[in-house]
Amino acid sequence: MKLSIIGGGPAGLYFASSIKTLIPNANVTVYEARNESVNSFGLGYTLQSLNTALLERLDKNYFKGLFPNGETPSISQALFKTNNDSRTFDFSDGFSVTRFELMRYLNQKAQSLGVKIKEQKMTASHLKKLQKSSDLLVGADGINSIVRRHFASKLIPNVYTAKLKFSWFMNETPQIRKEACFYTFQAPEGVIIMTSYPLTENKQVVIIEMTNKCAASGKFKGKSPKEAIPYLNEILSSNGDNISLTPANLPWYSFKMNTTKNVFYKNATLVGDAAMSFHYSAGQGLTSAFMMGYTLANCLHKNQDVEVALQHYQQSLQLMFEKPSSSSLAHIKWFESIDDHIQETSEADWLEHFRLKDKFQHETPSFIHANNASVVSAPNLL
SS (H, E, C) 168-220: EEEEECCCCCCCEEEEEEEECCEEEEEEEEEEECCEEEEEEEEEHHHHCCHHH
Provide the b/e sequence for 299-321 (b: ≥16 CB within 10 Å).
bbeeeeebeebbebbbebbeeeb
What one-letter code names the amino acid at 278?
F
pLDDT of residue 39: 43
Pick 278 or 272 by higher pLDDT: 272
Q: What is the mean pLDDT of the chain?
A: 87
Q: Across-strand partners of 170?
A: 205, 246
Whole-prediction pTM: 0.88
The shares of helix, strand and coil residues in the chain, as percent rounded to the nearest 5, are: 40, 25, 30
Name, in order, each residue with C-beta under 8 angstroms of 104's C-beta and a sequence gap of 6 or more.
none
Count CB neighbours of 74 within 10 A. Answer: 12
Residues making up the chain, counted from first to last: 382
Q: Is the confidence at residue 362, as pLDDT, over 60?
A: no
pLDDT band at 378 (very low <50, low <70, confident <90, very high): very low
Q: Across-strand partners of 32?
A: 119
- Measured CA to CA, the distance from residue 97 to residue 327 in angstroms comes to 24
- Measured CA to CA, the distance from residue 293 to residue 138 in angstroms comes to 10
pLDDT of residue 5: 97
Q: Which of 29-43, 116-130, 147-161, 214-228 comes out lowest in average pLDDT?
A: 29-43
pLDDT band at 92 (very low <50, low <70, confident <90, very high): confident
Count CB neighbours of 120 within 10 A. Answer: 14
Among candidates 197, 170, 166, which has minimal Cα distance to 79?
197
Query: Got the DSSP string for 351-367?
Result: HHHHHTGGG---PPP-S
Per the CB < 8 A criterion, the answer to whether 258 and 291 are in contact is no
Q: Is the confidence at residue 40, as pLDDT, over 70?
A: no
Domain boundaries, the chain: 2-84+97-161+256-332
pLDDT of residue 2: 97
Average pLDDT over residues 233-250: 93
Among candidates 236, 301, 357, which has minimal Cα distance to 15?
301
> What CATH number matches the domain at 2-84+97-161+256-332, 3.90.1170.50, 3.10.20.740, 3.50.50.60, 3.30.365.10?
3.50.50.60
pLDDT of residue 364: 44
Which of 23-37, 182-196, 318-332, 356-370 shows the highest mean pLDDT?
182-196
Among candidates 95, 94, 111, 93, which has minimal Cα distance to 103?
111
- Measured CA to CA, the distance from residue 369 to residue 182 in angstroms comes to 30
User: What are the strands of the beta sheet with 256-260, ordered from one edge?
Assistant: 256-260, 157-161, 374-375
SS3 342: helix
**Residue 150, CA distances (Å) to 32, 157, 224, 382 in order:** 17, 11, 32, 10
pLDDT band at 208 (very low <50, low <70, confident <90, very high): very high
Q: What are phi and psi of 337, to 5 degrees?
A: -110, 15
Q: Which of 76-90, 166-180, 286-300, 366-380 comes out lowest in average pLDDT?
A: 366-380
pLDDT band at 365 (very low <50, low <70, confident <90, very high): very low
Which region, left, alpha or beta, applies to residue 269 given φ > 0 means left and ψ of -120 to 50 means alpha?
beta
Can you list the alpha helix ranges (DSSP code H) found in 113-166?
Answer: 124-133, 146-150, 152-155
Per the CB < 8 A criterion, the answer to whether 355 and 80 are in contact is yes
Termini Cα distance of the chain: 23
Average pLDDT over residues 209-222: 97
